[in-house]
Amino acid sequence: MTYDYELTLIAKTSGSVDSEGIPTPSESKTVVYCGLKSIGRSEFYAAAASGLSPELTFIIHGYEYSGQTEVEFEGVRYIVIRTYAADFEEVELTCKKA
């Protein structure tokens, strides 16, 4: 697998608390390199039957991923709907548009 694209992993944190005691979330962004994989026909229709709409699968190094639930790719934000450890070194992030 070649890692030809940049992917921004977005981690949500609780952030600070405002003067009224309401927490304001903040984001931490990490840019990594990734490979792309299209969604297979059977996977797409099986997910659609469950109410999901996967669009892309990003493949990154496993040590770079720490549970982020959102990513940004080419200016578009995606939500991670499934992760899969393909092998010891790679993690597949199946995502839908946010």
Range of lowest pLDDT (2-11, 36-45, 88-97): 36-45
Residue 19 pLDDT: 82
Beta bridge partners of 94: 57, 82
Q: Does residue 62 have a pLDDT over 90? A: yes
For 5-97, CATH number out of 1.10.238.10, 2.40.10.480, 2.40.10.270, 3.20.20.70 equals 2.40.10.270
Q: Does residue 47 have a pLDDT over 80? A: no
pLDDT range class, residue 60, cuts 50, 70, 90:
very high
Name the residue type at position 67.
Answer: G
Q: Does residue 73 have a pLDDT over 80? A: yes
Sequence-distant (6+) residues with CB within 8 A of 83 are 65, 91, 92, 93, 94
Higher pLDDT, 92 or 51: 92
Q: Does residue 81 have a pLDDT over 90? A: yes
* Domain chopping of the chain, boundaries: 5-97
